[in-house]
Amino acid sequence: ADRTCWLLKGEPCSKCFRALCCKGPPPPRPEYDLVCIGLTGSGKTSLLSQLCSESPENIVSTTGFSIKAVPFQNAILNVKELGGADNIRKYWSRYYQGSQGVIFVLDSASSEDDLETARNELHSALQHPQLCTLPFLILANHQDKPAARSVQEIKKYFELEPLARGKRWILKPCSLDDMEAVKDSFSLLINLLEERDFEPSRM
């Protein structure tokens, strides 16, 4: 019947058209190599595990580094997560080479001392020669906690507007309670990765 409809009408019917177009494997999704940094306790491992649909049980802080392939509909993100302990952060820069984007996770409900440390680390990353031209996704995690600071407070405290002017960055609130919002934030990062000439974002 399908061949008949092609021959009689001189064009394929919708059923034939789907059969012709949909044969073969779908085109491969682009892959991007990202580095994920942030202090211990910021929630890096938990967020990435949830994005990979892994069980939240038995999650332990990353002590060195780990690599996860995080699948999205239009891309695969190969995320190298670096441990955030004091004695590991000084080695972060050894793992920056080859990165195409940066995920920085901070605990928006942390102590003032930890928040200042996180600010200093983010400033260092934004100014590092191997990262300074890359898109940044900055996640203000633990927004579900009572002591969480708002995105506007984080933006002001971290001095993102003056420091990151001219750079491509996204600052978004997040928590494990709203993984759809986390996925939306990663989709924005993928957009920046796909369009390297994109205008600097200040969302």
d(C-alpha 72, C-alpha 77), whole Å: 8
Planar angle of CA 198, 123, 61, nearest 5 degrees = 100
For residue 73, the one-letter residue type is: Q
For residue 179, the one-letter residue type is: M
40 labelled ligand-binding? yes
128 labelled ligand-binding? no
38 labelled ligand-binding? yes
> What tokens were used for 57?
């049980």
66 labelled ligand-binding? no
141 labelled ligand-binding? yes
List the one residue out of 150, 154, 199, 145 whose CA is nearest residue 38: 154
83 labelled ligand-binding? no
117 labelled ligand-binding? no
Check if the beta carbon of residue 142 is closer than 8 Å to that of residue 108. yes
163 labelled ligand-binding? no
Phi and psi at residue 77, to the nearest 5°: -105, 115
97 labelled ligand-binding? no
Check if the beta carbon of residue 26 is closer than 8 Å to that of residue 72. no
Helices (H), 43-178: 44-51, 86-89, 112-127, 151-157, 160-163
Place of tokens 């000084």: 90
100 labelled ligand-binding? no
> From the annotation, which residues make up the binding site for GTP?
38-45, 84, 141-144
Binding site listing for Mg(2+)? 45, 62
Which residues are known binding-site members?
38-45, 62, 84, 141-144
